[in-house]
Copies of this chain bind each other. A is one copy, B any other.
């Protein structure tokens, strides 16, 4: 039996036909309509029906960029896709495609994928960090996706790491995401005097060419990432922190200073228990995780 995993982003919906073991057999994509729920639903269910034409589907999983209430299954915050606010997307989609449907926060779905068949396979205490425009995260504790009282757990990007630090989009100062994210890299680069209209990719390309300032930007970002990892390690005594997301194209340029900083800031006993490694499933972790959540629905 196969599953459909949907990774719903602010610009597009990625859909995958996924087998029992988490392998993607076929992929599709459709634009995300963010202000009209009927248009959004029409694009999404079209993706599902396309797969249904040729294969028998057991269940559908969806990763959504917002907070999903695990008691009511309603999406309670959805900054990137306003039409999903206060919507029970699972019921709406299930009504149309006549399949079991589950949704979950997108970073939680990614965490579940890495746990089931990625860089965290075989562990029971894992955190997944995804570094894109912002910083998302998902927790696996005692071998299960940890969602907290109402399903909102895992918002590590907005934990304060420097209370006198940078202003964040959320209105507070010094959130981790203002340093460790694509946006954070651009801000650090600008502060260090890199000229022109910057993106994380431009800073990364400069670093690969050996630009000293760009290299320093990644080193500093890695240090903040490492301090954040140490905080997680001290609090949760993890076995692995899996880091994914577009920014992780930089790979060891971030992870090497992160490991050094984490070693300095974490308790030695706890640090010894924990690997800090790159995602194995990026950019497909969201699709695979959503499908695996659908597989493990009951």
Query: Which A residues lie at the B interface, using CB under 8 A?
Result: 67, 69, 76-77, 124-125, 139, 141-142, 144, 146-156, 158-164, 171-172, 174, 224, 227, 230-231, 234-239, 264-265, 267, 269-270, 273-274
Beyond A146-B141, A224-B163, whether A235 also contacts B125 by CB under 8 A is no
A142-B142, A160-B227, A161-B161 in contact; A149/B267 too (CB < 8 A)? no
- CB-CB < 8 A to A235: which residues of B? 139, 153-156, 159, 235
Complex formed: what's the CA distance from A104 to B182 in Å?
Answer: 41
Q: What 16 additional pairs, Cβ within 8 angstroms, besides A124-B149, A148-B237?
A: A148-B238, A149-B238, A149-B239, A155-B234, A155-B235, A156-B234, A158-B265, A159-B231, A160-B231, A160-B265, A161-B161, A161-B163, A162-B164, A163-B224, A163-B227, A235-B235
Chain B residues in 8 Å Cβ range of A238: 148-149
Q: How far is the CB of A173 from chain B (nearest CB, A)?
A: 9
Tell me if B155 and A267 are in contact (CB < 8 A): yes
- How many angstroms from the CA of A76 to the CA of B230 in the assembled complex? 19
CB distance from A161 to the nearest CB of B (A): 6
Instruction: Name 6 A/B residue pairs within 8 A (Cβ), A-sorted.
Output: A149-B238, A150-B270, A152-B267, A155-B234, A159-B234, A162-B164
How far does the alpha carbon of A234 sit from the alpha carbon of B174 in the complex, in Å? 14
Copies in the complex: 2
Evaluate contact between A142 and B146: CB separation under 8 angstroms.
yes
Question: Across the interface, which residues of B come within 8 angstroms of A156, CB to CB?
Answer: 234-235
Please give me the residue from chain B that is nearest to A271 by CB atom.
B152
Give, as a whole number of angstroms, the nearest-CB distance from A142 to chain B: 7
Name which residue of chain B comes closest to A147, CB basis. B237
Greatest chain B CB density within 10 A among A237, A239, A267 is at A237
A136 to chain B minimum Cβ distance, whole angstroms, is 12
Q: Are B148 and A236 in contact (CB under 8 A)?
A: yes
Q: A160 to B161, alpha carbons, bound, how many Å?
A: 6
Least CB distance from A275 to B in Å reads 11
Give the residues in chain B near A152, CB-CB below 8 Å: 237, 267, 269-270, 273
CA distance A227 to B153 in the complex (A): 17
Q: A266 CB to closest chain B CB, in angstroms?
A: 8
The 9 A-B pairs at the shortest CB distance, nearest first, are namely A148-B237, A153-B237, A159-B231, A155-B234, A152-B237, A149-B273, A152-B270, A125-B149, A149-B239
Contacts of A224 in B (CB 8 A): 163
**Cβ of A188 to closest chain B Cβ, rounded Å:** 14
Query: Beyond A146-B142, A149-B238, A273-B149, is A267–B125 a contact (Cβ under 8 Å)?
Result: no
Contact A162 B163 (CB under 8 A): yes
Interface residue from B146, B150, B160 paired with A269 (Cβ < 8 Å): B150
Q: A272's closest neighbor in chain B, by CB?
A: B150
